[in-house]
């Protein structure tokens, strides 16, 4: 994950910036850079590889200047070269950037048509040119940034430094975190509080859509409509702990909000963004064309990520998928063919049943691919190929960001299998890839609905039973919604395939039980809508999570409607995960439960 640092200091800042970037090294990166103002002029030093290379460059050619920005880059668009390293500069502005500018291709084409020459392969460079243009038109730096921001789509954080502006840094946040730190006559910007811990523990976190203009003595916050905004200062514990909760009350809340960023990062890890195709960061351990099936094994939420992947692999790769929970699979003595593919999924990489299942599959001669978040774990060490999720440490016992990152990695694997088996045309792959690239922005959009979801959760907290329904790939999401809710609120919840309603659970429907229906505009919409009508006909309390079309087609009284952004439905689970996580979270908070450490549960289940 990229890291951002900005300092308005009293003395030379380049060294301080590098020191503070070191605190972000745990996020992973492959190049780094710093820009400062020397005599009002922008100067930059960048280096491929680790920060020690940048420090060596700075030792050879030091940078003076008491204002600057720095960055550790984790390559998404373009190779990890010095040229592609941030900061990027154009016409009096330098910028560093975390996340993905989704519409960079069209912006790049538009700029090229206006005669702009690009020097890098990055998406970030479009930002530098767009702001540079505005400066050329005579706008002030603040006006230039305000005019440029609405042009960008995606989930990102940005920091800007301007030629001739010795007392101004501008930061902006949309879907990726950014914090302001307050010092004595100094001011800081950082992509997390940890970067700023050596300087200050007084922090303001930008809210989504915010941008901020910093001088050494002031911080002016603006919201997405460019209105001045009040944002609270909080004391952070970042200096004492490697991970802190930021301005969130619980780790689970922080982890829900981190998803646009970490999912964006995971997606980028599996795609060649510029070419618009999947590019797995490893060799598959089998010949996909020779496979007659794939086996998936996992536990809990990781199992449900696998169940979503079953839909994707069967559809995109025309390959049957057998899936089971690891505690069953390990003792089933299922016959397996040598050189087949078993995918295990685990956040911790230490789950005893998943590990035992993987060992069983290996014993049967299967090749194993492990989707894991902790890449130093036992499962990661023992599998044939690691497919990492780049969620960062997940502290809340209820899995959120690890789940959506698992979905992201599995979606890419499904597409890669489809291509390798000749089941997907290049055209369809390109469409699916652009749908994946749009996901972080859509997740950020879904997070904006939190206040409304919290209100619904307040009512949900008075229920004793909840039924979740979904069809197709929304069925595993119904299971996940129910699992999340029961884990942290202790409300009894069940997930069902909507089509199974008539085969039993419809008997439960009464005016007391909330029925939460997941209904993206997918190929199952019409059928899901029929099930909604069946619930309505029996006086059921319907909470619909869907887009405007789903609500219109349902055409019944909805007790509540959680409106989701319009989107292509292939990867809807990644976006629909957000409201179901927020529903569970706010229900548990309303009930005063221990959200991060629910009773009886452990983060890593290393026993049977």
For residues 352 and 363, give the distance between their C-alpha atoms in angstroms, rounded to a whole number.
Answer: 16
Active-site residue, selected from the candidate residues 2, 299, 383, 405:
2
Query: Do 180 and 203 meet the contact criterion of CB atoms below 8 Å apart?
Result: yes
Output the smallest distance, CB 587 to ligand M6R, in A.
15
357 touches ligand M6R by CB under 6 A: no
389 touches ligand M6R by CB under 6 A: no
Query: Do 177 and 205 meet the contact criterion of CB atoms below 8 Å apart?
Result: yes
The answer, yes or no, to whether the previous bond of 121 is cis (omega within 30 of 0) is no
125 touches ligand M6R by CB under 6 A: no
Binding residues among 467-496 for ligand M6R as defined by CB under 6 A: 487
Choosing from 146, 256, 397, 456, the residue that interacts with ligand M6R (CB under 6 A) is 397
Query: Do 11 and 33 meet the contact criterion of CB atoms below 8 Å apart?
Result: no
Task: Assess whether 603 carries a catalytic annotation.
Answer: yes
351 touches ligand M6R by CB under 6 A: yes
Choosing from 16, 124, 200, 347, the residue that interacts with ligand M6R (CB under 6 A) is 347
Which window, 235-243, 344-352, 505-513, 527-535, contacts ligand M6R (CB under 6 A)?
Answer: 344-352
Choosing from 399, 489, 531, 587, the residue that interacts with ligand M6R (CB under 6 A) is 399
Which window, 295-303, 442-450, 489-497, 517-525, contacts ligand M6R (CB under 6 A)?
Answer: 295-303
Which of 181, 300 has the CB closer to ligand M6R? 300
With CA atoms as reference, report the closest residue to 343 among 374, 320, 321, 363: 321
With CA atoms as reference, report the closest residue to 344 among 246, 410, 411: 410
Residue 5 neighbours by CB under 8 Å, 6+ apart: 17, 20, 21, 24, 69, 70, 71, 188, 189, 190, 191, 195, 196
Return the H-helix or E-strand segment holding 441: helix 426-447
Output the smallest distance, CB 372 to ligand M6R, in A.
8
398 touches ligand M6R by CB under 6 A: yes
End-to-end CA gap in the chain: 34
Query: Do 179 and 189 meet the contact criterion of CB atoms below 8 Å apart?
Result: yes
For residues 536 and 21, give the distance between their C-alpha atoms in angstroms, rounded to a whole number.
Answer: 55
Sheet containing 541-546: which strands, arranged edge to edge?
Answer: 492-497, 465-470, 514-519, 541-546, 560-563
258 touches ligand M6R by CB under 6 A: no
Q: How many other CB atoms are there within 10 angstroms of residue 504's CB atom?
A: 9
574 touches ligand M6R by CB under 6 A: no
Query: Do 438 and 102 meet the contact criterion of CB atoms below 8 Å apart?
Result: yes
Output the smallest distance, CB 351 to ligand M6R, in A.
3
604 touches ligand M6R by CB under 6 A: yes
Which window, 71-79, 111-119, 342-350, 381-389, contacts ligand M6R (CB under 6 A)?
Answer: 342-350
259 touches ligand M6R by CB under 6 A: no
Output the smallest distance, CB 505 to ligand M6R, in A.
22
Return the H-helix or E-strand segment holding 225: none
Which of 350, 445 has the CB closer to ligand M6R? 350
302 touches ligand M6R by CB under 6 A: yes
Question: Residue with CB nearest ligand M6R?
Answer: 300
Which window, 23-31, 45-53, 171-179, 299-307, contacts ligand M6R (CB under 6 A)?
Answer: 299-307
What are the residues binding ligand M6R (CB under 6 A)?
A: 299-302, 346-348, 351, 354, 397-399, 487, 601, 604-605
Catalytic residues: 2, 603
């Amino acid at each position: 994950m990229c890291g951002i640092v900005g300092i308005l200091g009293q003395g030379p800042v380049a060294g301080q910036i590098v020191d503070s970037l070191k605190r972000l090294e745990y996020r992973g990166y492959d190049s780094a850079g710093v820009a400062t103002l020397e005599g009002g002029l922008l100067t930059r030093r960048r280096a491929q590889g680790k920060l020690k290379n940048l420090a060596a460059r700075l030792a050879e050619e030091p940078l003076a200047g008491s204002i600057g920005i720095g960055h550790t880059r984790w390559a998404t668009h373009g190779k990890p070269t010095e040229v592609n390293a941030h900061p990027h500069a154009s016409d009096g502005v330098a910028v560093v950037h975390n996340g993905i500018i989704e519409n960079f291709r069209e912006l790049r084409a538009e700029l090229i048509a206006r005669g702009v020459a690009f020097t890098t392969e990055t998406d970030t460079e479009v930002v530098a040119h767009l702001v540079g243009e505005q400066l050329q038109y005579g706008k002030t730096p603040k006006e230039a940034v305000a005019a440029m921001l609405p042009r960008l789509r995606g989930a990102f954080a940005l920091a800007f430094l301007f030629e001739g502006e010795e007392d101004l840094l501008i930061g902006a946040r949309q879907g990726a975190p950014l914090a302001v730190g307050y010092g004595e006559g100094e001011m800081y910007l950082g992509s997390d509080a940890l970067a700023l811990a050596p300087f200050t523990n007084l922090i303001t976190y930008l809210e989504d859509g915010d941008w901020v203009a910093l001088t050494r003595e002031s911080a002016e916050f603006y919201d997405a409509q460019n209105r001045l905004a009040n944002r609270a200062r909080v004391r952070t514990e970042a200096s004492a702990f490697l991970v802190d909760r930021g301005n969130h009350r619980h780790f689970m809340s922080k982890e829900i909000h981190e998803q646009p960023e970490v999912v964006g990062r995971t997606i980028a890890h599996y795609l060649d963004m510029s070419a618009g195709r999947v590019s797995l960061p490893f060799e598959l351990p089998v010949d996909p064309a020779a496979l007659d099936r794939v086996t998936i094994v996992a536990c809990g939420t990781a199992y449900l990520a696998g169940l979503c992947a079953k839909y994707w692999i069967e559809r995109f790769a025309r390959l049957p998928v057998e899936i089971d929970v690891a505690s069953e699979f390990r003792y089933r003595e299922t016959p397996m063919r040598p050189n087949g593919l078993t995918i295990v999924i685990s956040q911790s990489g230490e789950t005893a049943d998943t590990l035992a299942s993987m060992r069983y599959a290996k014993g049967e001669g299967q090749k194993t691919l492990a989707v894991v978040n902790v890449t130093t774990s036992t499962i990661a060490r023992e599998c044939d190929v690691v497919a990492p999720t780049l969620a960062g440490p997940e502290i809340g016992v209820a899995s959120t960001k690890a789940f959506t990152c698992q979905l992201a990695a599995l979606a890419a694997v499904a597409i890669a299998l489809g291509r390798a088996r000749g089941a997907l045309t290049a055209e369809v792959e390109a469409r699916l890839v652009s749908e994946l690239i749009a996901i972080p922005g859509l997740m950020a959009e879904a997070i904006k609905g939190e206040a409304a979801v919290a209100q619904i959760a307040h009512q949900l907290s008075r229920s004793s039973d909840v039924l979740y329904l979904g069809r197709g790939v929304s069925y595993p999401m119904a299971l996940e919604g129910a699992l999340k809710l029961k884990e942290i609120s202790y409300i009894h919840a069940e997930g069902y395939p909507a089509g199974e309603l008539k085969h039993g659970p419809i008997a439960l429907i009464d005016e007391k039980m909330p029925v939460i229906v997941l209904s993206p505009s997918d190929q199952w919409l019409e059928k899901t809508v029929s099930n909604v009508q069946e619930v309505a006909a029996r006086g059921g309390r319907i909470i619909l999570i869907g887009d405007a079309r789903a609500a219109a087609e349902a055409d019944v009284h909805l007790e509540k409607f959680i409106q989701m952004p319009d989107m292509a439905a292939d990867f809807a689970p990644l976006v629909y995960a957000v409201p179901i996580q927020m529903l569970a979270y706010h229900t548990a908070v309303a009930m005063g439960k221990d959200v991060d450490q629910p009773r009886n549960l452990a983060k890593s289940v290393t026993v049977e």
